[in-house]
Structure 1
Amino acid sequence: MSEMITADLVDLDLSADTKEAAAQALAERMVTLGRVTDLGGFLADVAAREAQMPTGLDGGIGIPHCRSEHVTEPTLGFGRSAAGIDFGAADGPADLIFLIAAPAGADDAHLTILSSLARKLMNAEFTDGLRAVGDAERAAALIRGDDQPAPAGTAAAAADAVDTADASGPGASDSPAGSTDSTDSTDSTDSTDSTDSTDSTDSTDSTDSTDSTDSTDSTDSTDSTDSVAAPVAASAGAATGTTGDGTRDAGTSGAGASGESARLFRIVAVTSCPTGIAHTYMAAESLENAGREAGVEIAVEPQGSAGFTRLDPAVIAAADGVIFAHDVPVREKERFAGKPTVDTGVKAGINRPAELIDEVRGKAERGEATAAAAPGDSPVDRAGEPGEGYGTKLRKWLMSGVSYMVPFVAAGGLLIALGFAIGGYEINEAPSVTEYFAWAQADSWGALLFQIGGVAFGFLVPVLAGYIAYGMADRPGLVPGFVGGAISLTVNAGFLGGLVSGLIAGAVVLAIQRVRIPVALRGIMPVVVIPLVSSAVVGFLMFVVIGKPIAEAQKAMTDWLNGLTGTNAILLGTLLGLMMCFDLGGPVNKVAYTFATAGIAVASPSDSAMKIMAAVMAAGMVPPLAMALATTVRGKLFNRTERENGKAAWVLGASFISEGAIPFAAADPLRVIPASMVGGAVTGALSMAFGATLRAPHGGIFVVPLIGNPLLYLIAIAAGVCVTAALVIVLKGLRKPVPGADGAPGGESSAAPVAESKQPVAA
């Protein structure tokens, strides 16, 4: 990392008191050196990464990082805080803060160099040295792994001793014959990593008496700790070290290892994080260290931004258990099917690896064939971290189904609405287009769109149920979930039936997975046994036991909605408006949106259901439009990045993407969120009072022609936008000017902005 950090990028007296201020202080140094071209844009990218998952680690470490188009070359900034800064770690504030800036198009070598820092942070001697170092130059040298001894008797010599201790790695022998790589913080085998930028100079280490690439030599018996590093599975015949693209193999080929390995428990692991730079490799290093201490064989596959090398199939086949420590989906997960599996977040892999190893050994002893909680396409799909309450897990399971259902709702609903717009409100009575279709008649095209939308709507309940089960039990839950959802439609249990059947399907699969299965049958469990048994059980329950009661409950709810008039309807509109603006695309927002779309997910929705859909969409448009208006009217109250986000918020709000207000809410939640909720409540109530209706579940102003009472509907939206914008302006005007706003000290971009959501979800 000789080119990534210099003394100019080190602040040993970091005075910031928040993580945003700390990131800004270090980023300003990068701007000064020309490593970052746009301070505001870069900080927005850092904040967006931070919003995905806190970057604080146990042990007093904060490691904010991101890939950004505003970074010209891979850069590392380091700050040391005397008071400590909260980065969200469980054990308290961080005093060592590393800001990693990677270019958006960084190549594999650069990203792997960045990952070497992550591995160093697992070494207590390295972090202790950074806490003791007295000047910026020495700190930068320590982080780079440089070997530059100072004259004896000076303060710098003491600091150099810290560097030397770090270079020898944990557990290195006090004897100068202990062979380790100066850039490998925890594992002597890492010195063969082809991306280790200081490996070629390791032979100059005054404490290293052997070749820098020879630390894995089976004859090296001087280091009593390194010589017992966990061997690789004998059947795989894999070599020790780190492959060129980052796959870690936690073994050695030391003398006698092959005879001992047959008696050791074997684990394969996968680690990954949203950015794929830091936490991915820190978790890999932590698991490998814990594996050595526990006396087990462990091979880790870090799936980082620089790509990954798949574990040898022979290693996977020989493994007794699997650990997934990840916050993004495991790629090619089917390779690990049929084995006892522990599935958790990447931070658990960093903070409590020994517990994960014990857990997977326990599952293997009980004969559990696969993971009890597996990931989907995003963190919300997983069952959650160990220790989470059942309510939290239930919310994640339900949101998994809803997130997959929403695209079907949007596509089907818009197609149906366009069919009505082109063919008139009697288009639902048109004959099938397979029987009659005239190319020159608008009615035929309207019928075509209407019937395609109807087919898309037919998938709503099965998809909801299937992916609720998927969120609970991974791929084996899909078949019984879809079957249960289809049966819900057959018995008229509708949306409620889909929710219940999805939960039942997931629970049945989890129960089957806990049954002790002979090893010979494990391979066919996910493909044959689990789908067969779970589908039969779910089908029986839905057809014979609970389907009819759920159908009656669904009918009662529909009748209640159809009976809402006057004050009751206005109160419902107010409540829905508050929910839509509470978390701007989060769980509460989705509950309100799903409630509305469930009502129109039929060929002929009731008038009340269409009023509810109109109120929900109107309220969801208010926050981004209001923020756009506020930044236009009183730009001095906002920093430059917020004003830029305000321009985009016009389009996002008009398109019914509530997430357009997230940058403003994240930066100033106590003012923006309450103001948004008030405006949303006003709009929801007015929409219901005006009797506006909507057949489309999405589209914003672009589906105004499909809205009943469109003029009054737009007035309701305008009223809520004005209320929210006025409240935000008043509340922000009561505080001191924002640093970075026009006329405020600190310049245009001194305030740390929050990034706009990169993946808008249907409000």
Structure 2
Amino acid sequence: MKLLAVTACPTGIAHTYMAAEALEVAAEEAGHEIVVETQGSAGSTPFTPEQLAEAEAIILAADVEVRDKERFAHLPTIAVGVKKAIGGADGLIEAAVAEATARPKAAAGTVPAQRSESRDMSVKSSGPGFGSKLRGWLMTGVSYVIPFVAAGGLLIALGFALGGYQITEAPDIVSVGDDGVVSSAFNAASLMSWAALSFQIGSLAFSLLVPVLAGFIAYAIADRPALVPGFVGGLIAVQTQAGFLGGLVAGLLAGALIYWLKTFRVPRALAGIMPVLVLPLIGTAVVGAVMFVVVGQPLAAATTGLTSWLNGLSGTNAVLLGALLGLMMAFDMGGPVNKAAYAFAVAGLSTESDTALLIMAAVMAAGMTPPLAMALATTVRKRLFTEVEQENGRAAWLLGASFITEGAIPFAAADPLRVIPSLMVGSAVTGSLSMAFGSTLRAPHGGIFVVPLIGNPFAYLFAIVAGTLVSAALVIALKSVGRRTTAEADVPATATAPATAAVA
């Protein structure tokens, strides 16, 4: 038989090409012909019309969104994760042949009626469950976010390294006056100018994290028509301080809405403009309204309420307050709860009270812990994490040291139920220890670069290390349990791979 395959992993590097090679070898040994399209970081060479017309089945081995998958709608399809192609290519070839025999392909360019409604939603699934699909959608969004986290975070860290914590107060490199005149404050001979330039470029890159996450989650669910509603929903999540959790909601909402709208049959005259005009227009209007009216306002009110609540707790036990602030800093990592704790700490600096300095130190320490914990976990137990998570873990060392809590967002977005609680516990330990040790801080930012400004610095660093160890240990333990559970659940399915791998 003549078969096709598409391989794709979040990083688009190793697993993409390893899976392709495994499928090619397995097909040759079984006496079949196969052409593999590797959708990797270096780009891809699409199938020719002749290859699409001659193929009898296709294998989609991908952990991220397969691009232009409507090309394969006429083919019997096997959809699995990329790792299954590396370790079980023989079984996939057998399953593809069996599927092609049981379900002969339709004419090229047509979609069998009984399968048209499930094609888009099944590409990511390595199994029949909704959880597999959801993880695939989230991983697609995360895979596009990672370069922004790495580039923006490292530029911000460079800004702090060159200019110190004062860099957050540096004037904009380019500004527009009331008279509309554009002026530049950049001085090539000034180190502070270079520091401010690096910090401001990095901050702009970071401002795109949530919109990119939301946009590509939506894209994973419903393809290109969902990009605009997803991006706009993510921008609204930032504007309304809904944070990355708001971005997740916006992406899932936009994708589900566009996917639902695509199920309606429209007159032939409208079919051509649906994906470029009608769907983005309706999707953006609906998602924007929901994010502004339903999601944004309640979270903004929650932020105000949390800030008031924290002000009322200032006189309570210092250790308990430190633990509470640590929980808040790790809960949404840059979102409204995190910002409420940080705003509470920064506002207290103006009072010059000893309690305010203790709170600022605890908040920054707790905010440094999540990225450091994920960096440590990916270093100690690499096999529990994907290749993209391992790469992001290496960047998280510097992001955590620079007090950029958002460095842990890719991990939390991909596996929120295990990662977020683990990070919250570790940050609570760090916050409570920082308060117990009496560490103080006058700077509102800077991470490790402002250690000389910290009171009782060695105990402060010990608190960060302790919380990092706790979070990393919990993440590893929870992921190990989940890995064993998944392996046990896969045992009966392995024996019937050809029957269960096929996606109708």
Same fold per superposition (TM over 0.5): yes
Asked if 1:364 corresponds to 2:100, the answer is: no
Specify whether residues 408 and 303 from structure 1 end up closer, same or farther in structure 2 by C-alpha distance, changes over 3 A only.
closer
Aligned to 1:685: 432
Give the counterpart of 1:301 among 30, 36, 40: 36
Q: TM-score, normalised by structure 2?
A: 0.56
Aligned to 1:241: none
Q: Which has the larger radius of gyration?
A: 1
Aligned to 1:313: 49
Give the counterpart of 2:301 among 534, 537, 552: 552
1:340 and 1:360 in contact (8 A); partners too = yes
Asked if 1:386 corresponds to 2:136, the answer is: no
Specify whether residues 595 and 504 from structure 1 end up closer, same or farther in structure 2 by C-alpha distance, changes over 3 A only.
same
Give the counterpart of 2:319 among 561, 564, 567: 567
Specify whether residues 722 and 513 from structure 1 end up closer, same or farther in structure 2 by C-alpha distance, changes over 3 A only.
closer
Aligned to 1:144: none
Aligned to 1:435: 183
CA distance in 2, matches of 1:485, 1:723: 31
CA distance in 2, matches of 1:650, 1:483: 30
CA distance in 2, matches of 1:533, 1:320: 37
> Map of 1:46-65 to 2, 5 A cutoff?
none
CA distance in 1, matches of 2:341, 2:154: 11
1:320 and 1:339 in contact (8 A); partners too = no
2:240 and 2:297 in contact (8 A); partners too = yes
Offset at residue 270 of structure 1 (A): 2.7
Gaps of 5+ in 2: 9-14, 177-181, 348-358, 381-392, 406-422, 470-504
Q: Letter of the aligned partner of 1:334 in structure 2?
A: D
CA distance in 2, matches of 1:601, 1:574: 9
Aligned to 2:230: 481
Specify whether residues 533 and 426 from structure 1 end up closer, same or farther in structure 2 by C-alpha distance, changes over 3 A only.
closer
Offset at residue 441 of structure 1 (A): 5.5
2:160 and 2:449 in contact (8 A); partners too = no
Q: Deviations over 1:666-694 (max 9, x none)?
A: xxxxxxxxxx9998875453235535587
Q: Letter of the aligned partner of 2:461 in structure 1?
A: I
CA root-mean-square deviation = 5.8
Q: Letter of the aligned partner of 2:36 in structure 1?
A: E
Aligned to 2:497: none
Q: Deviations over 1:48-81 (max 9, x none)?
A: xxxxxxxxxxxxxxxxxxxxxxxxxxxxxxxxxx
CA distance in 1, matches of 2:37, 2:372: 41
Aligned to 1:531: 280
Asked if 1:615 corresponds to 2:366, the answer is: yes
Specify whether residues 367 and 695 from structure 1 end up closer, same or farther in structure 2 by C-alpha distance, changes over 3 A only.
farther
Q: Secondary structure at the match of 1:365?
A: coil
Offset at residue 396 of structure 1 (A): 5.3
Give the counterpart of 1:717 among 461, 477, 481: 461
Aligned to 2:211: 462
CA distance in 2, matches of 1:605, 1:570: 11
2:236 and 2:288 in contact (8 A); partners too = yes
Q: Secondary structure at the match of 2:6?
A: strand
CA distance in 1, matches of 2:464, 2:319: 19
CA distance in 2, matches of 1:682, 1:495: 24
Offset at residue 535 of structure 1 (A): 2.1
> Map of 1:163-202 to 2, 5 A cutoff?
none
Offset at residue 420 of structure 1 (A): 6.6
Q: Secondary structure at the match of 1:301?
A: strand
> Map of 1:107-506 to 2, 5 A cutoff?
249-250=2-3, 269-271=5-7, 273-274=15-16, 275-276=18-19, 279-281=22-24, 300-301=35-36, 303=38, 310-316=46-52, 323-327=59-63, 333-334=67-68, 336-337=70-71, 339=73, 343-346=79-82, 347=84, 350=91, 352-353=95-96, 354=98, 364-366=112-114, 368=116, 371-373=119-121, 382=124, 384-390=125-131, 393-394=133-134, 397-398=137-138, 400-401=140-141, 404=145, 406-407=149-150, 410-411=153-154, 413-414=156-157, 417=160, 421=164, 423=166, 426-427=169-170, 432=175, 434-437=182-185, 439=187, 447-491=196-240, 493-506=242-255
Offset at residue 544 of structure 1 (A): 4.9
CA distance in 2, matches of 1:269, 1:304: 10
Q: Letter of the aligned partner of 1:437 in structure 2?
A: A
Q: Deviations over 1:75-96 (max 9, x none)?
A: xxxxxxxxxxxxxxxxxxxxxx
Aligned to 1:599: 339
Specify whether residues 471 and 576 from structure 1 end up closer, same or farther in structure 2 by C-alpha distance, changes over 3 A only.
farther
Q: Letter of the aligned partner of 2:126 in structure 1?
A: E
CA distance in 2, matches of 1:553, 1:287: 60
1:277 and 1:304 in contact (8 A); partners too = no
Offset at residue 452 of structure 1 (A): 3.3
2:229 and 2:287 in contact (8 A); partners too = yes
Q: Letter of the aligned partner of 2:456 in structure 1?
A: L
Q: Secondary structure at the match of 2:61?
A: strand
CA distance in 1, matches of 2:208, 2:7: 34
Aligned to 1:542: 291
Q: Deviations over 1:417-474 (max 9, x none)?
A: 4687275664369982842526256665555455434433432332232233234334
Offset at residue 393 of structure 1 (A): 4.6
1:472 and 1:507 in contact (8 A); partners too = yes
Aligned to 2:420: none
Specify whether residues 692 and 393 from structure 1 end up closer, same or farther in structure 2 by C-alpha distance, changes over 3 A only.
farther
Gaps of 5+ in 1: 1-229, 231-248, 251-267, 290-297, 376-381, 580-590, 631-648, 659-675, 698-702, 726-763
Q: Deviations over 1:620-648 (max 9, x none)?
A: 547988999x9xxxxxxxxxxxxxxxxxx
2:325 and 2:341 in contact (8 A); partners too = no
Q: Deviations over 1:721-752 (max 9, x none)?
A: 58999xxxxxxxxxxxxxxxxxxxxxxxxxxx
CA distance in 1, matches of 2:215, 2:394: 36
1:412 and 1:453 in contact (8 A); partners too = yes
CA distance in 1, matches of 2:104, 2:434: 53
Specify whether residues 422 and 540 from structure 1 end up closer, same or farther in structure 2 by C-alpha distance, changes over 3 A only.
closer
> Map of 1:54-133 to 2, 5 A cutoff?
none
Specify whether residues 279 and 603 from structure 1 end up closer, same or farther in structure 2 by C-alpha distance, changes over 3 A only.
farther
2:431 and 2:463 in contact (8 A); partners too = no
1:466 and 1:481 in contact (8 A); partners too = yes
Q: Secondary structure at the match of 2:24?
A: helix
1:692 and 1:708 in contact (8 A); partners too = no
CA distance in 1, matches of 2:343, 2:72: 43
Offset at residue 713 of structure 1 (A): 4.5
Aligned to 2:351: none
**After alignment, is 531-540 or 712-721 more displaced?**
712-721
Offset at residue 482 of structure 1 (A): 0.6
Q: Deviations over 1:511-569 (max 9, x none)?
A: 13434578998776554554333223323333455543343334445555666652333
Q: How many residues align?
A: 392
Q: Secondary structure at the match of 1:432?
A: strand
Offset at residue 337 of structure 1 (A): 4.9
Q: Deviations over 1:98-147 (max 9, x none)?
A: xxxxxxxxxxxxxxxxxxxxxxxxxxxxxxxxxxxxxxxxxxxxxxxxxx
**After alignment, is 709-718 or 352-361 more displaced?**
352-361
CA distance in 2, matches of 1:408, 1:612: 24
Offset at residue 506 of structure 1 (A): 1.4
Q: Letter of the aligned partner of 1:570 in structure 2?
A: G
CA distance in 2, matches of 1:712, 1:425: 24
Offset at residue 573 of structure 1 (A): 6.3
Offset at residue 481 of structure 1 (A): 0.7
